[in-house]
Amino acid sequence: QVQLVESGGGLVQGGGSLRLSCAASRLTFSSHTMGWFRQTPGKEREFVARIDWSDSSTLYADSVKGRFTISRDNAKSTVHLQMNSLKPEDTAVYYCAARITGAARWLYWGQGTQVTVSS
């Protein structure tokens, strides 16, 4: 079955940077939009960013715009999230997700990777 495996989480000081990666397997990468979401305890999972296959167009949550950059390597079926100028409020479990381009529902999810930003 489809697998999405995140890596790159960890502990970082405020103002620092982290780069998350998500490797997809058994997924027709070229027909899927890839995204990142995050969740903190007691809160709903929230959208962070997404990138389309066809034109690599991107969309970001207002809270991360200008600080985070999503990119994809289609040859390696991998999507990245470069996170700069991290803030304590960015602390969360970050999830990679995939949906068929044009569809509304995110079909596939990774297991999540913890990002902790200290003040």
What percent of the chain shows pLDDT beyond 90? 86
For residue 102, pLDDT over 90 is answered with no
- Report the distance separating Cα 44 and Cα 40, nearest Å: 8
The stretch 92-104 carries a mean pLDDT of 94
Encode pLDDT of 38-88 as tens digits: 999 999 999 999 999 877 799 999 999 999 999 999 889 999 999 999 999
Q: Which two tokens stand for residue 118?
A: 């200290």
pLDDT above 70 coverage of the chain, percent:
99
- Output the average pLDDT for the chain: 95
3-state SS, 34-95, equals EEEEEECCCCCCEEEEEECCCCCCEEECCCCCCCEEEEEEHHHCEEEEEECCCCHHHCEEEE
12 CB contacts (<8 Å, ≥6 apart)? Answer: 18, 86, 115, 116, 117, 118
